[in-house]
Amino acid sequence: MTSLAASEHVSSYYAATANNTTRYPPLQGEHRADVVIVGGGFTGVSAMLHLAERGYDVALLEANRIAWGASGRNGGQLIDGFVDSERIEKRLGADAVRITDQMGIDSRQIVVDRISKYSIDCDLKFGYVELALRDSDVRNLNSWLEAKQRANYPHEMKLLNRDEIRSVVGSDSYIAGLVNMGNGHLHPINLCTGEAAAAVSLGATIFEQSPVVKIHHGQKPRVETTSGTVHANKVLLAGNAYLGRTEPKLSRKVIPAGSYVMATEPLSPELQRELLPTDMAFIDLRAALDYFRLSADGRMLWGGMCNYSGRVPRSIEASLRPGMLKVFPQLDKARADYTWGGNIAISLNRIPQFGRIEGNTYYVQGYSGHGLAPTHMAGKVLADIVAGESEQFELLSKVHHWGLPGGKWFANPALATGMMYYRLKELL
């Protein structure tokens, strides 16, 4: 992974085209707040803005920069949905499915409403397509579309057959696609920093370059860095894959996995129209999925290759380019201007983990690579529990999450082996 410096953003397309560079001060000395949040990604910033809108005095501590982790490195795809219905029904029953399905729809709406309310410039465009490679994929797409229609899904959806799919993606790789006009794509750093600025305008306080070294739980919790302390009534932990050992009780509940993206040079308008004429976001349905879209300045943003082994590839471009050229051989001469990656946090059951530590500390983590919209809903759920509205938090905190035997040293190789099985199964 190419980086600028350990405490700055990685050298991504997003960092290079950010509207502004955040320069919030580091924590110094003693401070007090109603709520202190650890982590300046989408979860923490979403919770901060929700709380600031309700009049709470909020302080947020970020070890590096706002959106430094996965929130600023992802594919920028805005996809509704919170958790797979079958996984929730199996554990919590049909009533829970109704609640979480609505949370999934609302998660996307939170983002869209924020962008509108605070005039956040983040290149939002609508249109998202799930791509079928096999007949079984087509059956799944039909089933999903029917389920959405039964649930009175509020956005336009359409299943495209083999002939029609060429109208949205200039490739012979796909046999069908499900278009969802409610979802889309955006610039994630500009979204997150825009939301952070909105919270600050409402009275919230952000401290960057302030890694937490100790969290004291209990009735009067406090959070310490090397140069200061925040005393608060509530603590919200939102570090996800980058929380590390800051809270030992959480470190063995998720598996860190690498995910990577490449941005080409700007493509000619003619090539853009040939490859992605409708400027939507795309994802295929393989276990080792690819996702792609155009940036606002006409680059192909190609991502995927989720790496469960814990090892960073020697060359991100060499790892991603073959998959891109298989779909778009027209890009064989296109230069890669940016490559980057980072960690996502995987839950073994692929359900986000909500919980409470010693009364006044709450957390959420483990979005398993589907975090842009769900993190915004998770931030709202954390803000709600602070305000005494606990239905969604209490529901999700009932899901049991196993700790990882042997920690990541066992879990990463085991997960990598499992993913290898599914990839081989697809090839065969």
* Tens digits of residue pLDDT in 180-237: 999 999 999 999 999 999 999 999 999 999 999 999 999 999 999 999 999 999 999 9
Residue 350 has pLDDT above 90, yes or no: no
Residue 241 or residue 159, greater confidence: 159
> How many residues does this entry show for the chain?
428
What pLDDT score was predicted for residue 424?
Answer: 41
What pLDDT score was predicted for residue 18?
Answer: 98
| Mean pLDDT across the chain | 91
Mean pLDDT computed over 341-363: 91
What pLDDT score was predicted for residue 335?
Answer: 98
For residue 412, what pLDDT band results from cuts at 50, 70 and 90?
very low
**Torsion angle, CA of 371/374/377/382, rounded to 10 degrees?**
-60
d(CA 299, CA 17) in angstroms, rounded, equals: 12
Single out the residue of 373, 400, 402 nearest to residue 255, CA to CA: 402
Q: What are the pLDDT digits (tens) for 258-273? A: 999 999 999 999 999 9
> Considering only 94-98, 161-165, 174-178, which range has the smallest mean pLDDT?
94-98
d(CA 217, CA 78) in angstroms, rounded, equals: 35
Tokens 């070294």 locate to 213
3-state secondary structure (DSSP) of residue 91? helix
d(CA 338, CA 274) in angstroms, rounded, equals: 22
What pLDDT score was predicted for residue 308?
Answer: 63
CB 304 within 8 A of CB 317: no
d(CA 99, CA 281) in angstroms, rounded, equals: 27
DSSP label at 428? -
CB 211 within 8 A of CB 26: no
Pairing of strands 361-365, 353-357: antiparallel
Q: By CB neighbour count within 10 A (0-12 exposed, 13-18 middle, 19+ buried), where does 156 fall?
A: exposed
What pLDDT score was predicted for residue 44?
Answer: 98
Pairing of strands 281-284, 176-185: unpaired
Domains of the chain: 13-74+189-253+348-416 (3.50.50.60), 124-186+256-346 (3.30.9.10)
Residue 426 has pLDDT above 50, yes or no: no
Q: By CB neighbour count within 10 A (0-12 exposed, 13-18 middle, 19+ buried), where does 26 fall?
A: middle
Residue 126 has pLDDT above 70, yes or no: yes
CA-based radius of gyration for the chain: 21
d(CA 143, CA 40) in angstroms, rounded, equals: 37
For residue 245, what pLDDT band results from cuts at 50, 70 and 90?
confident
Residue 56: which residues within 8 A CB-CB, separation 6 or more? 34, 35, 386
Q: What are the pLDDT digits (tens) for 21-80? A: 999 999 999 999 999 999 999 999 999 999 999 999 999 999 999 999 999 999 999 999
Q: What are the pLDDT digits (tens) for 96-115? A: 999 999 999 999 999 999 99
What are the φ and ψ backbone dihedral angles of 239, each rounded to 5 degrees? -85, -20
Single pTM value for the model: 0.92
